[in-house]
Amino acid sequence: MTRIAVFNQKGGVGKTSTVLNLAAAIYRQGQRSLIIDMDPQGHLTEVHPNPPVAASQSLFGFYQENKPLASLAIDWEGMGKLICSHKELIKVDSIFGRGPAILNRLKHGLEAWDKTADTGNTLIDCCPYLGVLSLSAIFATDFVIIPIASDYLSLQGAQKVEHTLKALEPVLKKRIERRYLMTCYDRRRGMTFEVHEQALANFGNDVLQTVISENVAVAESPQHKQNVFQYSANSTGARDYQALLDELLESGLLPLQRKTQAAQAADINS
């Protein structure tokens, strides 16, 4: 069971789209995921057709009332299970501070989840700032995906994440695996290629070969409470997120049994 945090210290870089559509690609491969919305803005939660409204039934209930994650997870068709966000999550830093107990609580909660779970991998949509929530996600996960939205500000945010991960490695006594993902990739803009080249210079082989193109289907699908495969399975966005999953599978970062070509074709045509 692999745990993946998606994080950048800048918003609007495709974090939520990446969690949503990577989880959907995994589901099409035959495995349900646990998806956790750790961003108090709750954009991922808003995509679910019927999220709970009470703070106690969100991830805040895990922190404030020590509710087990299993009691908070709701079914999500075509995805797996979701633990929703709530605006009250913004209070976690001020309520609990940044001690080891709070920073490791999510890790321990996921260890308890894994003992009884009927899902495979866990994907976490982090908030776009460095605090208890994003640090907890990093402490709990096996690797981090850092989206870079093909502009200089999101590249700077990624560089801050790199500094953070390097600073945490002596504490965790291991190298934190990470991969940088180019998103909002528009081949008509010279800046896209400049930022991509700079990312390669800064992060080397940690930059994924897959790029997520600027795509209408990716942008529009959340409005319809759908992932990109449900909204437009033949779109460039759907192909890009399938390519992302394929690359993670081939790299060994995300162990997962592949479907047969016939089964994949049946999904696409359904």
- pLDDT per residue over 186-243, tens digit each? 999 899 999 999 999 999 999 999 999 999 999 999 999 999 999 999 999 999 999 9
pLDDT at 268 over 70: no
**What mean pLDDT, rounded, does the chain reach?**
92
Q: Please tell me the distance from the alpha carbon of residue 270 to that of residue 253, in angstroms, as a whole number.
A: 29
Number of domains in the chain: 1
Q: Which residues of 181-191 are buried (b: 16+ CB within 10 A; e: fewer)?
A: bbbbbeeeeee
Q: What average pLDDT does the segment 28-44 reach?
A: 96
Mind spelling out the 3-state secondary structure of 77-122? CCCEEEECCCHHHHHHHHHHCCCHHHHCHHHHHHHHHHHHCCCCCE
pLDDT given at position 116: 84
Per-residue confidence band for 68, with pLDDT thresholds at 50, 70 and 90? very high
What percent of the chain has a predicted confidence (pLDDT) above 70?
95
Q: Where in the sequence is the domain holding 95, given as residue range(s)?
A: 3-269
pLDDT at 161 over 70: yes
Per-residue confidence band for 119, with pLDDT thresholds at 50, 70 and 90? confident
What percent of the chain has a predicted confidence (pLDDT) above 90?
87
pLDDT given at position 117: 79
CATH of the domain at 198: 3.40.50.300
- pLDDT per residue over 93-110, tens digit each? 999 988 899 999 999 999
* Lowest-pLDDT range of 73-87, 130-144, 147-161, 254-268: 254-268
The residues, ordered by sequence, that sit 6+ positions from 3 with a Cβ below 8 Å of its Cβ are: 110, 121, 122, 123, 124, 140, 141, 142
* Lowest-pLDDT range of 24-38, 117-131, 190-204: 117-131
Task: Tell me if 3 sits within 8 A of 140, measured CB to CB.
Answer: yes
